[in-house]
Amino acid sequence: MDATRRWFLRGWRYVGAAAVSVEQLRPMLAAVAGGEQYWNLVKEQFPLRPGKIPMNAANLCPSPRSVAERVAELTRDLDGDVSFQNREKFSATLEESRRKVAGQLGVLAEEIALVRNTSEANNTVNNGISLKAGDEVVLWDQNHPTNNVAWQVRAARFGFTVKRVATPPAPREAGELLLAFESALTTRTRVLAITHVSNSTGVRLPARELCEAARRRGIWAHVDGAQTWGCLAVNLREMGCDTYSASAHKWFMGPKEAGILYVRQERIPELWPNIVAPGWGQKAETEAKGARKFETLGQRDDACLASVATAVDFHRMIGYDRVEQRVLELASALKDGLKKVKGAKLGTPLEPNLSGGVCVARFEGADMQKVYREIYVRHGIGGAASGGLRLCPHVYNTMEDIERAVRAVGEVVG
């Protein structure tokens, strides 16, 4: 190892327990060409407890220290001076976060609303589209409740029809998934609302093709991206959806209680807001705000919203494509290991193009709740029991973590 590299690694160990800015981190990572050493350095940026291995990105991710410290720093600043004068700067930090999110997703800043989470964004969509008796909404039966049950609640009020599409349990190609939805669309269909990657099976829908099929028919295409923002390199302009929702606390690894709602520019006037609070003006004034009209939510956590920009910086430093490649690499290794465990039946396709970072498996004769609890108690592996045993690795995990998780599952199921 050359002297420069040794210097960087010594420096990393020195600052590893403290927050490191993205600009400080960049040369440290550049000093390591790649491989597991690179990802070990990434992992060191997260304040993980010794012996604990988080693999629950579908529910909640840790934030890197740079994000957590930015939230803490700005919270201290607010608490030290809550005057309007001191808080003026947060108008600029909010817009910085908006611009950076828009850049990450390949859209205009005016098309991004910074809301509180995916649930709020989904409900803005399903409560904001004008629907009436006789209209039809087509859903995936694997949608999250806020993009599933919530539609049923609106249907009870407004009289439209909800149709749920079931897809093959073990799809072999994207065409099977596409056909299931195209067969369900009718002349009455006004909305197609899907989840990009299922949180219960890990199946990835061909979102671009589904959105294109919807738009050909004049159907509103909504995509719940809770399991893809911060996991896959998503370009919403290329995807072609009308609306997209996601949370910062999942794969994005950002601050808690922040989320995004993307609304395609042409659709913004058609979508009614859920909440009207200070900041709402006359129609012309409000429409000029673009998607900002969906974030008049009263007092917000300014420190949280400002730190969304820091999280984008962290992803951009690694590279959006590189994050996706790493997640798929880890997920593939995990699935390959789990399928060898006694009695294993994978609910998630092995093919990366049909899945993402969510990995779900069941084991014949095993109590999934017990497996989920025991791998944490005995081995520190933090997963979930959702559709089976759900493990979701991210960039703060290493191949060693994957191997430990597979051994832990094998021992518990054993």
Q: What is the pLDDT of residue 211?
A: 98
Among the four given CATH numbers 3.50.50.100, 3.90.1150.10, 3.40.50.720, 3.40.640.10, the one describing domain 48-63+319-413: 3.90.1150.10
Give the pLDDT of residue 19: 67
According to DSSP H, which parts of 159-250 are helical? 174-182, 207-216, 236-239
Other CB atoms within a 10 A radius of the CB of residue 291 amount to 27
Q: Measure Cα distances from 208 to 48, 184, 211, 223, 323 in Å.
A: 36, 17, 5, 10, 20
Question: What is the pLDDT tens value at each position of the chain, 414 positions in all?
Answer: 444 444 344 444 434 455 677 777 778 787 776 789 999 999 999 999 999 999 999 999 999 999 999 999 999 999 999 999 999 999 999 999 999 999 999 999 999 999 999 999 999 999 999 999 999 999 999 999 999 999 999 999 999 999 999 999 889 999 999 999 999 999 999 999 999 999 999 999 999 999 999 999 999 999 999 999 999 999 999 999 999 999 999 999 999 999 999 999 999 999 999 999 887 776 666 677 899 999 999 999 999 999 999 999 999 999 999 999 999 999 999 999 999 999 999 999 999 999 999 999 999 999 999 999 999 999 999 999 988 999 999 999 999 999 999 999 999 998
Given this model, what pLDDT does residue 18 score?
Answer: 59
The domain ranges of the chain are 1-33, 48-63+319-413, 74-315
3-state secondary structure of 148: coil
**Which helix (H) or strand (E) covers residue 76, if one does?**
helix 65-80
pLDDT of residue 320: 97
Domain boundaries 74-315, CATH class: alpha beta
328, 357 in Cβ contact below 8 A?
Answer: yes
Q: Give the whole-angstrom CA distance, residue 322 versus residue 347.
A: 26
Type of residue numbered 337: G
pLDDT of residue 133: 97
In the sheet with 384-385, reading across from the earlier edge strand, the strands are: 344-346, 359-363, 389-391, 384-385
CB within 8 Å of 71: residues ≥ 6 apart: 63, 255, 303, 304, 307
CA distance 236 to 157: 31
- In angstroms, the CA 234 to CA 357 distance is 14
Q: How many CA atoms lie within 13 A of 290 on its CB side?
A: 15
Measured distance CA(234)–CA(118) in Å, rounded: 16
**CA dist., res. 70 & res. 95, Å (int):** 16
DSSP H helices, 263-395, are: 283-287, 302-318, 320-338, 368-379
State residue 4's pLDDT score. 41
